[in-house]
């Protein structure tokens, strides 16, 4: 158990819809990162939030956005869903932005039809 | 640019046999390296990490990994595999801002 939880566990949406995924970090962790893991692939970095500000972004379009809240929770929002957005979405929390181990949640599996 | 290569997509070993999973990385500075394990439908569990110091790193579940700068490798080893080790294994390098670059993974099958 990492202490990182995600909701929902599974989600089905249709193309063009919007989705919000939620993550609760370990207490005291001020950094959260989100990753997308397509089937049969390794996770890919979407973005990171540090103290409620975006602190780095991978190669994902602006329709992927996030929020981080003072209570160690965070959200990943995806607008205008596309079929290729179907994946396992993982959040990971860490105690700081440098040289810190990231602890992953169990993920949310999103299916876009 | 940072990248990780895991050359073996799938490995099958007999229970009790030794295991080595290969990982090669590309990174301009001193790398921070990780091995994670993922069971089907689950998130990632950290097995071990290398930040600095001793190049042989011990992890959980009897795993170890050796950092070899000259070969840009960070191979994962276990002397005796158990059936419960069957899972997907991912090697990762930190990209300088605590974001991780993962390999494509190696799926381990353990046969009786």
User: Mean pLDDT, chain A, as a whole number?
Assistant: 92
Give the pair of three-digit tokens for residue A113. 């039809």
Question: What's the rounded Cα separation, in Å, for the pair A100 and B97?
Answer: 10
* A interface test, pick of B21, B44, B87 with most A CB neighbours within 10 Å: B44
**B44 C-beta neighbours (distance < 10 Å), count:** 29
Note whether A99 contacts B95, CB cutoff 8 Å.
Answer: no
d(CA A79, nearest CA chain B) in Å: 23
Q: What is the pLDDT of residues A59-96, one digit of tens each?
A: 999 999 999 998 889 999 999 999 999 999 999 998 86
d(CA B53, nearest CA chain A) in Å: 14
Q: What is the structure's pLDDT at A1?
A: 61
Nearest residue, CB atoms, A104 vs list B43, B98, B104: B43
Task: Return the percentage of chain A with pLDDT > 70, whole number.
Answer: 95
Chain B stretch 27-86, residues whose beta carbon is closer than 8 A to a beta carbon of chain A: 32, 34, 36, 41-46, 49, 51
Q: What is the pLDDT of residues B44-75, one digit of tens each?
A: 999 999 988 889 999 999 999 999 999 999 99
């Amino acid at each position: 158990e990492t202490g990182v939880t995600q909701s929902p566990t599974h989600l089905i949406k249709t193309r063009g819809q919007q989705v919000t995924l939620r993550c609760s970090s370990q207490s005291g962790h001020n950094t959260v990162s989100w990753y997308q893991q397509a089937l049969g692939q390794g996770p890919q970095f979407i973005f990171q939030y540090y103290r409620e500000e975006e602190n780095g972004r991978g190669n994902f379009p602006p329709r992927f956005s996030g929020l981080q809240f003072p209570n160690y929770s965070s959200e990943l929002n995806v607008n205008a869903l596309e079929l290729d957005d179907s994946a396992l979405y993982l959040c990971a929390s860490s105690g700081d932005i440098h040289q810190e181990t990231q602890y992953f949640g169990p993920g949310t599996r999103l299916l876009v039809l | 640019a940072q990248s990780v290569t895991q050359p073996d997509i799938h490995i099958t070993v007999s229970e009790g046999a030794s295991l080595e999973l290969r990982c090669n990385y590309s990174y301009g500075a001193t790398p921070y390296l990780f091995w994670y394990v993922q069971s089907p439908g689950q998130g990632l569990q950290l097995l071990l990490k290398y930040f600095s110091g001793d190049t042989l790193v011990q992890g959980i579940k009897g795993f170890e990994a050796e950092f070899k700068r000259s070969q840009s490798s960070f191979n994962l080893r276990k002397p005796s595999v158990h059936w419960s080790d069957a899972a997907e294994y991912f090697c990762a390098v930190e990209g300088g801002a605590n974001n991780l670059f993962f390999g494509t993974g190696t799926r381990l099958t353990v046969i009786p």
